[in-house]
Amino acid sequence: MTESAGETGKLVFPPQTPTEALAAPVAWRRALAAWGALALLALAAVALSPLVGSTNIDLLRAWGIGVAAGEENIDAAIFFTARLPRVLFGLLAGASLSVAGATYQALLRNDLAEPFTLGVAGGASVGALLALNFLPITVSPLAAPGLALAFAGVAVALLYGLTRLRGPRSSPATLILAGVTMNFLFGAAILLIQYISDPYQTMAIVRWLMGGLDVTSYRVCAVAAVLLVVGGGILIAHARPLNLLALGDMTAHHLGVPVERTRLVALAVSSALAAFVVAFAGPIGFVGLLVPHVLRRLVGADHRILLPATILGGGFFLVVCDSAARVLFAPSELPVGILTAFLGAPFFLWLLFRKG
């Protein structure tokens, strides 16, 4: 499909590689159409998902229509206390994980990179579990994001140190293997935490590691929204440098990109977004792998278009997955991390074998 680009001639959209994205002007009309469609899907998911669950509710009664004065409104309690904050956090968590995954894939030039495969989610899990299991209950909810971020930073520092140590010899496959190795290391730390915990804590850890959106606090949603706006804005501001980094560090440097600073900022911001999600939802894997790849085929590889699309599409994807997880085994609820793993693991294998 082609679109007129004025005096520049015909523009192929979407460009399939960052190199093509740099060589062609941005088709903003089509980009806006794609963003608008994804935004509508995300809004529809947020509007409908609170109505989905093992208990049916009346939307009119939830908003107080037809409820007598003094009558207990169970529908409103379920809608506004249990489901709506969960859906809002799912929207923000999916957006954060997706934009982080797209950033990792650009920085490492590796289709398999995402918070789960690089060990970032594993490190954040260790930090969050240390806070939740060994700090006083009045302190642990506040400390969990901080420790999750600190241990995610350890994972990123190890990964960055490897790239600096090996320099140009650090192949994408080597970095993914390093992430897998860090996952084993952090997995061993999680097993140690389970071993020294009491039986009740052990069961809670197992359930938490499955990944779930059991968030009922609007305050957490507000903090997640601020982090996403700030962090997502920083990453989108670095979209053109990310395009140039896809051409190689030397080429990007000669084109004026501060390579090391760009890499550090993008790694730090994307890891912070992923760590905050892990602190409250557990390690929900493969969202940052699936969504960027699907959207890259739809809107192209230009990160000026792709990153906003992943924010919208990732939120929609995780909200839909959580809605499905709530009804597949009703009245029991399936942790959404299990469902995303069933979707993402085969996709990961397909990418692995497709790339040889």
Provide the β-strand partners of residue 9: none
pLDDT of residue 3: 41
Contacts of 215 (CB under 8 A, 6+ apart): 85, 86, 89, 221, 280, 281
- Tokens 């860090």 correspond to what residue? 182
Select 2-60+74-354's CATH number: 1.10.3470.10, 3.20.20.150, 3.40.50.300, 1.10.3210.10: 1.10.3470.10
Whether 17 shows a pLDDT value over 60: the answer reads no
Contact 106, 246 (CB under 8 A): yes
What's the rounded Cα separation, in Å, for the pair 216 and 326?
15
Average pLDDT, the chain: 85
pLDDT of residue 117: 83
Sort residue 64 into left (φ over 0), alpha (ψ -120 to 50) or beta. left
pLDDT of residue 13: 38
Whether 219 shows a pLDDT value over 50: the answer reads yes
Cα→Cα distances 147→144, 278, 299, Å: 5, 11, 36
Q: What is the dihedral of CA 251, 257, 258, 264, to 10 degrees?
A: -90
Whether 69 shows a pLDDT value over 60: the answer reads yes
Whether 200 shows a pLDDT value over 70: the answer reads yes
Q: Which of 82, 47, 79, 84 is nearest to 62 (CA)?
A: 79
| DSSP secondary structure code for residue 4 in this structure | E
Least confident of 15-29, 90-104, 210-224: 15-29
Tens digit of pLDDT for each residue in 88-136?
A: 999 999 999 999 999 999 988 888 888 888 889 999 999 999 998 888 8
- H-helix or E-strand spanning residue 3: strand 2-4
Contact 176, 352 (CB under 8 A): no
**Helices within 52-138 (DSSP H only):** 59-62, 74-76, 84-108, 120-134
What's the rounded Cα separation, in Å, for the pair 261 and 241?
11
Q: Please tell me which residue, 230 or 27, carries the higher pLDDT value.
A: 230
pTM across the whole model = 0.87
Provide the β-strand partners of residue 10: 4
| Amino acid occupying residue 248 | G
Q: Please tell me which residue, 336 or 330, carries the higher pLDDT value.
A: 336
The residue ranges of every structural domain in the chain are 2-60+74-354
Whether 7 shows a pLDDT value over 60: the answer reads no
What's the rounded Cα separation, in Å, for the pair 214 and 61?
24
What is the SS3 assignment for 10?
A: strand
